[in-house]
Structure 1
């Protein structure tokens, strides 16, 4: 590319008189030189990060320190130094070949210092790993940290040292995910299912579990232990492969999830908002590539695994006939975005002459695409509905991809989409988006989860849809990473826009981006497709399937603004535990029984950790719900508010313990899942494992992470909304995602299916609201009307 630019920069011609006219485009040469300088700087930073990451928790300065120590020892105590070096030289027979005694001395000192330094490095690293295996701090009450835990934190901080960590600094120092015993896992499993079974069924389950733990479970555990010895995480690769990539159903609604715009908008100009968002996306992408994003720490000491951040951009889930594949391209192949507008696709660069385009420049490029409507108004139905192929079942999409997109023009265009950093959709319409309106937030949530079935590229790691008034929603593919990663990205985008708009205006009074435009105007390139009739038929079928899925989705968002975590904390309860008990109470009132409940918990305290399942249903939670129902009904024998309070706190404590166990790698479900995979590899049918994994999660819940990495001194706006959600996991169940915003707001995203007669998302949301009211009224804290 640089050679082509230089050919244009230098031009000469021969006049009729034979004179040579030579011209130089100095601006273009400067751009090429700046681009080369930036590229060299990037390579240097990549090399530096690789070295620092490899030697952590050591540092180059510690090597210099050891060299200084041995040099000073030579000067201050020549006799001792001489004996030490003679002893060391006995291990280095090649030194006899060196003619100069000075050379022997220098090599001896350098090699000895290097060996001591490397030994200290590994000792320090394994000491840190051993320290991080300890998870007792998770079980300490908030604000009541014992002295031993405080000392442990001090030890961790001391070993980590006074460094400025980069994104992956702590990866090699994170502990491996522990492998529980089969006996402990079966025991914990039985405890979680006891409230869901009658005596006869429980007794039969208990016998099968004990027989499994004492028999074939031990044999399967041996194979799993062998995997654990050679794998830093015995779960994650199988979890990605079998839970996500082997799934053949459509990923739209069934797997992908959505995230909403959070901060109040500072412009209503679509192209300007897209330009600003793309600029900050490219900046965050560059920060990830150069590892400038700070790793997350618990209590400013305990690092979390950041491995999932490697595939935020330039990642696509490629369909396969039997199994999908995650394709992640290196950054130099993913320096553009694919933009969709009314069925047309465009290639839009994020860089020019080695620098990230400014918001005003990106706005100009996006506006060119919007203005293209005046030139091309009609798009063939096949091209318009082409993205519906990513919304159909994976096997069908894989076969169509092989037949019609594996060569020629279609392959080139598809490759541009699949290697893009992300996909941007320029939407029509101006949706209202009020943080307190259930209806408006619900409509935007549906747009984020599925759109119209053909205006999202569901295979991409991230698809960002921006409406004409600047409101945006995101749709994320789930296999490559979990929601906290995309949630962090959205927070960075919105925080930067909010902070910079406050400190230094990004937009002018007319809503357009401020700044100078110095890049060429004819950069967006429209992608072309060659779609034969057979391909158009498959696209039409895919669209029909997508529309059926969309029509069956029952989605409702509850904007709970009566009280939030501030009031819950005054009740001396964990907000998450309080909400989970409210969901149990609401589910009982909605369905009339308890069901197996899923809550996602992260295991990123371990290397390559993803999630573990928390099972909120317990004997304590069922006792609370039963007592709460009697208390609300009143009459003779009804418990008092104080008695129900006690049961609620006991249920909350049990839930917190289960959550901490999951974070500490002592959960139930991932261990049983991997044992099941081993049994399938060995061709053994295990009835106990088959029963466990076939149990439907009729209530699947997850808390959307919020405020993960807040900038210092930034005040969160009062009208913040957002969060995100997902589709129902079971055909006759609910999916509930909730986000706790500030002190006074909680948003519940409830999904189910219209085809399931027993469920109704709006009815369940209303039951959640009433459950929250009834529970807070147990306490003398911010009471609300019954």
Structure 2
């Protein structure tokens, strides 16, 4: 699913996640928080190496089944590698637990290697990591010349980046740098704050409904995590191939950009929320300015930049900025109700929200489209996800009934003889009880599809296997996979997923097709957070318009189902 896709990783593949902002008043606060994050990562690595990671089990639908934990072991020390024909993965050798470990720190487009654990020195303490980070934060702004923006190349289309990588690898120094980056446990990016006005199409004012005191709005924060804000901001302060890039901004905004091929969101969210909860239990320290200086300073990576690479970096600047400018992104908090009300209606919150997404689309366009919702298949060895197809016939019939007389939906006419008057008159053939019954039928069907998928009876993963087998065995695709209906069914104009968090966090991503929408959601007891995305270059989509339609849909669903 991932390795053959040639599109750039930021926006098209890598999700971005925003965690609750911190309060930083000095550079020491930034370094201390980052040090605690790294310390938490090292503790988690020890847990993985010991084999004592707790076994997770299914909480519903044949409860207590063990869930595959392989994704958790692929988060640290892994990386995606571009290829001329297809990408590949670098995964750590979990059997080798004695090797040294390091982390790459990105700051002002410079990259530093911090050895955090080695046989000679053991594991660095939090204070020692803090000292290394303070050095980087003071060193990077004072360097006499601007660094080459090598990180921008990782934001290019995969086959182009593969060619650039081959050129870089012609120099031994670059080989070592790339090896250090790919084998690092994580990347930690210390970012500058995006301008307050940065939003969907460059610098065009605010869009998100929620602001944090003294902070930018949430849409602005999401842009930071998904792509970094462009070549003039933080996009070069990244290595988008890296599985985990933790991003900490000097204004307290922080979050994550992660490469999706190794893991679903659940493993990443679980790890960082566990670390965050532990940090919040630690009392704040009053920094006295005295830091431990007995360690050598971290190594700053120096690059050999050939003329062709220098030219490519300039081209990458233009390409990246153009793609970022095209991203229409909107973080929307629906605060009228949340999952407490939905549960009172005797409906699964996920099923309810999926039907709201269908209704919102129908209200805008008068029809439904192929919809993707991820369904975990971790009950099976190495299971990832299958596809819950939410655009069912039952959902369509309910949406049509809910929209009778609206927009693109054809108004029902009376039997009056006067044709002109009859066009002006419409009436409802569905009363509240009938609409409720149609909703219950759609919800039942959505639940059935969901259960089929999580229990291994979905259709998309078997079809994917057959498609790849036919390509491998016959050298060409079976006619089923070239049929127009298969292409339509797999062009997901609405790509969705629930990213449930215990913290006030949210994750977003771009659409998977140029004319489509992306929509992740995080239901809380009294609100639902949506991250809606589209592209400005598609003249028939709008993230804010879809969010408004979602609001209207959720409102009328409440009116329909409230007791």
TM-score relative to the length of structure 2: 0.86
Report the Cα distance in structure 2 between the residues aligned to 1:777 and 1:631, rounded to whole angstroms.
18
Q: CA deviation at 1:291?
A: 2.0
Compared with structure 1, are the counterparts of its residues 287 and 272 closer, same or farther at alpha carbon in structure 2 (3 Å cutoff)? same
Match of 1:728 among 502, 505, 511: 511
Q: CA deviation at 1:644?
A: 1.3
Tell me, what secondary structure is at the counterpart of 1:244?
A: coil
Q: Write out aligned runs for 1:49-60 (5 A).
A: none
Report the Cα distance in structure 2 between the residues aligned to 1:405 and 1:684, rounded to whole angstroms.
34
Report the Cα distance in structure 1 between the residues aligned to 2:358 and 2:127, rounded to whole angstroms.
50
Report the Cα distance in structure 1 between the residues aligned to 2:477 and 2:76, rounded to whole angstroms.
40
Report the Cα distance in structure 1 between the residues aligned to 2:122 and 2:446, rounded to whole angstroms.
50
Choose 686-695 or 274-283, whichever is displaced more: 686-695
Partner of 1:245: 3
Partner of 1:543: 317
- Could you report, residue by residue, the CA deviation over 1:315-360 in whole angstroms, capped at 9, with x for unpaired residues? 1111111111101234555611101111211111223655433333
Partner of 2:131: 364
Partner of 1:455: 237
Match of 1:609 among 383, 387, 391: 383
Report the Cα distance in structure 2 between the residues aligned to 1:478 and 1:464, rounded to whole angstroms.
14
Partner of 2:150: 386
Partner of 2:264: 482
Higher Rg of the two aligned structures: 1
- Could you report, residue by residue, the CA deviation over 1:157-185 in whole angstroms, capped at 9, with x for unpaired residues? xxxxxxxxxxxxxxxxxxxxxxxxxxxxx
* 5+ residue gaps, structure 2: 197-205, 412-424
Match of 2:433 among 636, 642, 653: 642
* 5+ residue gaps, structure 1: 1-242, 708-719, 782-786
Match of 2:361 among 563, 587, 590: 587
Q: Write out aligned runs for 1:552-701 (5 A).
A: 552-630=326-404, 636-681=427-472, 682-691=474-483, 692-695=485-488, 696-701=491-496
Compared with structure 1, are the counterparts of its residues 374 and 400 closer, same or farther at alpha carbon in structure 2 (3 Å cutoff)? closer
Q: CA deviation at 1:701?
A: 0.6
Report the Cα distance in structure 1 between the residues aligned to 2:561 and 2:477, rounded to whole angstroms.
51
Report if aligned partners of 1:360, 1:513 keep a CA contact under 8 Å in 2.
no
Q: CA deviation at 1:751?
A: 0.8
Report if aligned partners of 1:348, 1:365 keep a CA contact under 8 Å in 2.
yes
1:464 equivalent in alignment to 2:222? no
Report if aligned partners of 1:462, 1:474 keep a CA contact under 8 Å in 2.
yes
Report the Cα distance in structure 2 between the residues aligned to 1:479 and 1:374, rounded to whole angstroms.
34
Compared with structure 1, are the counterparts of its residues 752 and 686 closer, same or farther at alpha carbon in structure 2 (3 Å cutoff)? same
Partner of 1:65: none
Match of 1:760 among 513, 520, 542: 542
Compared with structure 1, are the counterparts of its residues 684 and 419 closer, same or farther at alpha carbon in structure 2 (3 Å cutoff)? closer
Report the Cα distance in structure 1 between the residues aligned to 2:195 and 2:273, rounded to whole angstroms.
21
Tell me, what secondary structure is at the counterpart of 1:479?
A: helix
Tell me, what secondary structure is at the counterpart of 1:554?
A: strand
Q: CA deviation at 1:392?
A: 0.6
Q: CA deviation at 1:630?
A: 2.7
Report the Cα distance in structure 1 between the residues aligned to 2:153 and 2:372, rounded to whole angstroms.
30
Alignment coverage as a number of residue pairs: 514
Q: CA deviation at 1:448?
A: 0.8
- Could you report, residue by residue, the CA deviation over 1:645-671 in whole angstroms, capped at 9, with x for unpaired residues? 121111111101100000111111111
Report the Cα distance in structure 2 between the residues aligned to 1:341 and 1:769, rounded to whole angstroms.
40
Partner of 1:343: 109
Report if aligned partners of 2:15, 2:259 keep a CA contact under 8 Å in 1.
yes
- Could you report, residue by residue, the CA deviation over 1:274-314 in whole angstroms, capped at 9, with x for unpaired residues? 11111111111221122222111124732100011221111
Report the Cα distance in structure 1 between the residues aligned to 2:134 and 2:245, rounded to whole angstroms.
19
Match of 2:273 among 488, 491, 504: 491
Report the Cα distance in structure 2 between the residues aligned to 1:431 and 1:653, rounded to whole angstroms.
46
Q: CA deviation at 1:635?
A: 5.7
1:398 equivalent in alignment to 2:170? no
Q: CA deviation at 1:693?
A: 4.3
Compared with structure 1, are the counterparts of its residues 693 and 636 closer, same or farther at alpha carbon in structure 2 (3 Å cutoff)? closer
Compared with structure 1, are the counterparts of its residues 587 and 260 closer, same or farther at alpha carbon in structure 2 (3 Å cutoff)? same
Q: CA deviation at 1:248?
A: 1.6
Report the Cα distance in structure 2 between the residues aligned to 1:295 and 1:456, rounded to whole angstroms.
33
Partner of 2:65: 302
Compared with structure 1, are the counterparts of its residues 462 and 474 closer, same or farther at alpha carbon in structure 2 (3 Å cutoff)? same
TM-score relative to the length of structure 1: 0.62
Partner of 1:283: 43
Report the Cα distance in structure 2 between the residues aligned to 1:278 and 1:663, rounded to whole angstroms.
34
Q: CA deviation at 1:519?
A: 6.7
Report the Cα distance in structure 2 between the residues aligned to 1:410 and 1:244, rounded to whole angstroms.
26
Match of 2:176 among 394, 407, 412: 412
Higher relative contact order (CA 8 A, sep 6+): 2
Q: CA deviation at 1:462?
A: 0.8
Report if aligned partners of 1:267, 1:273 keep a CA contact under 8 Å in 2.
no
Report if aligned partners of 1:349, 1:523 keep a CA contact under 8 Å in 2.
no
Report the Cα distance in structure 2 between the residues aligned to 1:390 and 1:640, rounded to whole angstroms.
56
Q: CA deviation at 1:267?
A: 4.9
Report the Cα distance in structure 2 between the residues aligned to 1:408 and 1:338, rounded to whole angstroms.
19
Report if aligned partners of 1:359, 1:513 keep a CA contact under 8 Å in 2.
no
Report the Cα distance in structure 1 between the residues aligned to 2:300 and 2:55, rounded to whole angstroms.
38
1:424 equivalent in alignment to 2:188? yes
Compared with structure 1, are the counterparts of its residues 274 and 248 closer, same or farther at alpha carbon in structure 2 (3 Å cutoff)? same
Partner of 1:702: 497
Tell me, what secondary structure is at the counterpart of 1:475?
A: strand
Report if aligned partners of 1:317, 1:326 keep a CA contact under 8 Å in 2.
yes
Partner of 2:22: 265
Partner of 1:75: none
Report if aligned partners of 1:334, 1:419 keep a CA contact under 8 Å in 2.
no
Report the Cα distance in structure 2 between the residues aligned to 1:618 and 1:313, rounded to whole angstroms.
39
Report the Cα distance in structure 2 between the residues aligned to 1:684 and 1:280, rounded to whole angstroms.
48
Tell me, what secondary structure is at the counterpart of 2:2?
A: helix
Q: CA deviation at 1:638?
A: 4.0
Report if aligned partners of 1:631, 1:638 keep a CA contact under 8 Å in 2.
no
**Normalized per residue, which structure has more helix?**
1
Q: CA deviation at 1:481?
A: 1.4
